[in-house]
Amino acid sequence: MKDKRKVNLDEATLFGSRDNIEEAFEYAQSILERESKDSAIYFATALMVIWNTLSTKYDIYEKDVAE
């Protein structure tokens, strides 16, 4: 793991986060299922909750992908 680069995701403080990625995904899914499909703010909120959960609860490293 020493040769992998850590990815830095800055928290977007306007949005919340959840305790783990499963909860964040379930929350995002519930927003997208119940809110108007015509408003981009609901999609942005769902995405940013997942983003913030990753940025505040997880260490993320680039994956080695063979070319």
pLDDT at 55 (0 to 100): 96
List all residues 6 or more positions away from 51 whose beta carbon is below 8 Å from its beta carbon. 9, 12, 15
C-beta separation of 10 from 67 below 8 A? no
- DSSP state at residue 13: T
State residue 48's pLDDT score: 96
Digit-by-digit pLDDT tens for the chain (67 residues) are 556 788 999 999 999 999 999 999 999 999 888 877 678 888 899 999 999 999 999 999 988 776 5
Give me the pLDDT at residue 33, please.
Answer: 87
- Cα torsion 37, 57, 6, 60: sign: negative
